[in-house]
Amino acid sequence: MTLELSHFSAAVLFSVFASVVFGITQRNDPTEQIRYGLYCFVMFAGGVFLAGWVMWLLRH
Amino acid sequence: MANSTKSAPAEAQKPTATPASPRMAVIAPALGWLIPGAGHLIQKRWIRGLLLMISISTMFILGLLMQGRVYLPNGGDILDILGFVGDVGAGGFYIVTRMQGWGHGAIAHATADYGTKYLIVAGLLNFISVADAYHIAIGKKP
C-alpha cells in the first residue's frame, strides 16, 4: 500500500502531529498546552502559506 | 508585610508535581522510547499519553506508507548519520521496521521525500516525549 499525499496535505498533517507533541511537552497547564499547540499549528501552517507565496513571487 | 500575606495563598494554589519513585525515572523513559506515549501512560497521564502515542505512531506509519527511506546505522555522510539518529528515536517502530525490511523501496513519486522526513521527525518528537516522561517521573513537571 502506497500513500500519495499532496504537498499541502503532507505539510498540514505534519503541522498537526508536531503541534500536538510540542503543546503537550512544552507546557505544564492543560489550557496552556492547548494554546501553545494551536499557536504552533498556526505558525507551521502560516509558514507553509508564506513560503508558498514567496516561491510564487520568485517564479513570476 | 502585606506582600507576604498575599503571596502565601498564591503559592499554595500553584500546581505541584509529585515525584515518583527513582525506578520510574528509568522505566518511564525506556518504555516511552520503545512505545511512543507509554512513558506517560504508565504514569497515569492518560490523555497526554494517548495523544502522543497517536501523533507519533501515525506520523511514523504515514512516513512508511509514503515510501519514506529508513536509515541504517552508518558512518558515512553526516546527514545519513543524523537521519539514523532521528529514525532510531521511534524505538519499537524502528526495530519492527528494520526486522520487516521496510523502508527500502525505490522512490516512485515526488512526495516520497516527505515520508523520509515524517520518519525522522516522528523519532525526534519521540525523543522530546521521552524527556517529558522523565521530567514527570522526577517530579519536575505535573
The residue among A8, A19, A25 with the most chain B CBs within 10 A of its CB, best to mutate, is A25
Is the CB of A25 less than 8 angstroms away from the CB of B132?
yes
pLDDT digits (tens, 9 = 90+) for A11-55: 999 999 999 999 999 999 999 999 999 999 999 999 999 999 999
For B71-102, the pLDDT digits (tens) are 999 888 999 999 999 999 999 999 999 999 99
CB contact under 8 A, A14 and B131: no
- Whether residues B125 and A21 touch (CB distance < 8 A) is answered with yes
Interface test with A, best of B62, B102, B116 (most A CBs within 10 A): B62
B47/B141 Cα distance (integer angstroms): 15
Task: Classify the complex by whether its ipTM is higher than 0.85, answering yes or no.
Answer: yes
Cβ-nearest to A3 among B62, B121, B125: B62
For residue B122, list chain A residues with Cβ-Cβ distance below 8 A.
17
- Indicate the pLDDT class of residue B17, thresholds 50, 70 and 90: low
Farthest-apart Cα atoms in chain B, separation: 73
A42 to chain B, any CB pair closer than 8 A? The answer is no
**Separate counts of helices (H) and strands (E) for chain A:** 2, 0
Mean pLDDT in residue range B1-5: 45
Cβ contacts (< 8 Å) between A18 and chain B: which residues?
A: 121, 125
- Note whether A31 contacts B: Cβ–Cβ < 8 A: no
pLDDT of residue B62: 96
Beta-carbon count within 10 A of A48 CB: 17
> Which of B65, B108, B129 is opposite residue A25, by nearest beta carbon?
B129
Mean pLDDT over the full length of chain B: 87
Given a cut of 50, whether residue B134 has pLDDT beyond it is yes
CB contact under 8 A, A5 and B114: yes
Q: Do A28 and B142 touch (CB under 8 A)?
A: yes
Nearest CA in chain A to B105: A2
Return the pLDDT at B11.
45
